[in-house]
Structure 1
Amino acid sequence: MYYQWEERNHAPIYRCWENCIAGKFPTLLRNVRKEAKAMAKQQGKNVGDDMTDLIDFKPTWIRSEIWKQMLDHWNTPKWKAKSLRNKEIRSRATGGKHTLGSQSYVTMKRKAETWA
């Protein structure tokens, strides 16, 4: 059974969804490219700069025509330059992720006291 919200709530729910996915989508696509490259390498394919080498290694959840469009986009000089710049920025980042996991405030406070 599916939940169906009232029509008047559609716009704020859609905005929330857009805000949530916007930060996760680039990482999702980066992982898709990495997985496709890994599968190609496992099959002995030489994966270079040409993204069309990955045409046969699309994820099952992406339609073939969309995958081809994505590969075409990733093959443009503009995208490759942006990707290289972002890769360099990520490699220079220092520190770790700022997550505490599923620990309670009391547990974190106790650990912080032992660190001090």
Structure 2
Amino acid sequence: MARSSSGGGRGRGRVNGQDSGTGERLALDANETHTQHESNDDDESAVGRRGPVAPTPLPEPRNREWIWIIYGQFSNQSSATRIIGEILEAMYSEPWLSWKDVSTEDRNRMFERFKGYYQWENEWDDQVYSCWVKFMKRKFKDLLSRLREGAKVAASMAGVEFVDDFRVLIPHKSQWMGAKIWEDLIDKWNTDEWKKKSSQKIKTREKSTGGIKSPNHPYLCNTVVSFPIFPYPMNDDIFYIDAEKWELHEYS
């Protein structure tokens, strides 16, 4: 792949051949966010679970790894998505329930941090950003799921039974998350509206598990379909089929 000798690409972080100072700004952001997390994490109830985030050090601008997009994924998929996860944890500063709740300003700050690790050609700008958003959304869902399930396990080990009231999980937060943000998340998860949506999603996923046979469907006639299915082998998108309507959907 050809590489441009002039400063270009969202990941370059250079203006007129000079370092823009992005690395210094991001280091300050990381330290500030890190301090905010640690200041709320001195309670004993969080001991034994994941501690404060330790972000991967930012490389010198000239040493940033070159990346591009292949089949909807980063050329260094495992490394890039790991960095995305670190960024999300380090900069999770509000009780966001989903990516759509994150402000444009916060999204831009997160992408600036990502640019501190990688560089790419100008023509890859839009694809890199779109790919970053796609996997940031997925990391977001995974992060919140791990927080809830981890708290449930910790509560169970402490002899606390979780049935439906998320407030029993308040003393069992992950160490890296601030106490106030955690309590605000608990309040949101504890609403009837959130519980209803969560229940609907679980039922939808349950429909998409196992294997079923369709004798009439024009494309799946007399075939057994297992779920989830991957229409593109190298694409990270996961799809499922509505067993009642035989419609293809992407997991949300």
* Length-normalised TM-score, structure 1: 0.69
The Cα shift of 1:97 comes to: 5.6
Whether 1:38 and 2:153 are equivalent positions in the alignment is: yes
Pair 15,62 (structure 1): closer, same or farther in 2 beyond 3 Å: farther
Higher RCO (CA 8 Å, separation ≥ 6 residues): 2
Other-structure match for 2:141 = 26
SS in 2 for 1:55: helix
Q: Separation in 2 of the partners of 1:91 and 1:35?
A: 22
Name the one with the larger strand percent.
2
Q: Separation in 2 of the partners of 1:27 and 1:92?
A: 21
Q: Choose the corresponding residue for 1:66, options 165, 168, 181.
A: 181
Q: Could you list the per-position Cα deviations for residues 72-108 of structure 1 after superposition, in whole angstroms to 9, with x for gaps in the alignment?
A: 000011000001111111111131463969xxxxxxx
Pair 61,17 (structure 1): closer, same or farther in 2 beyond 3 Å: farther
The Cα shift of 1:53 comes to: 0.5
User: RMSD of the alignment, in Å?
Assistant: 2.8
For 1:1-116, what aligned pairs fall within 5 Å after superposition? 1-2=58-59, 3=61, 4=116, 16-94=131-209, 95-96=227-228, 98=230
SS in 1 for 2:196: helix
Flag structure 2 segments of 5+ consecutive residues without an equivalent. Answer: 1-57, 62-115, 210-226, 235-252
Identity of aligned residues (%): 32
SS in 1 for 2:199: helix
* Length-normalised TM-score, structure 2: 0.34
User: Could you list the runs of 4 or more consecutive aligned residues of structure 1 that deviate by over 4 angstroms after TM superposition?
Assistant: 11-16
Q: How many residues are matched?
A: 98
Q: Could you list the per-position Cα deviations for residues 46-92 of structure 1 after superposition, in whole angstroms to 9, with x for gaps in the alignment?
A: 11211110001101121111101100000011000001111111111
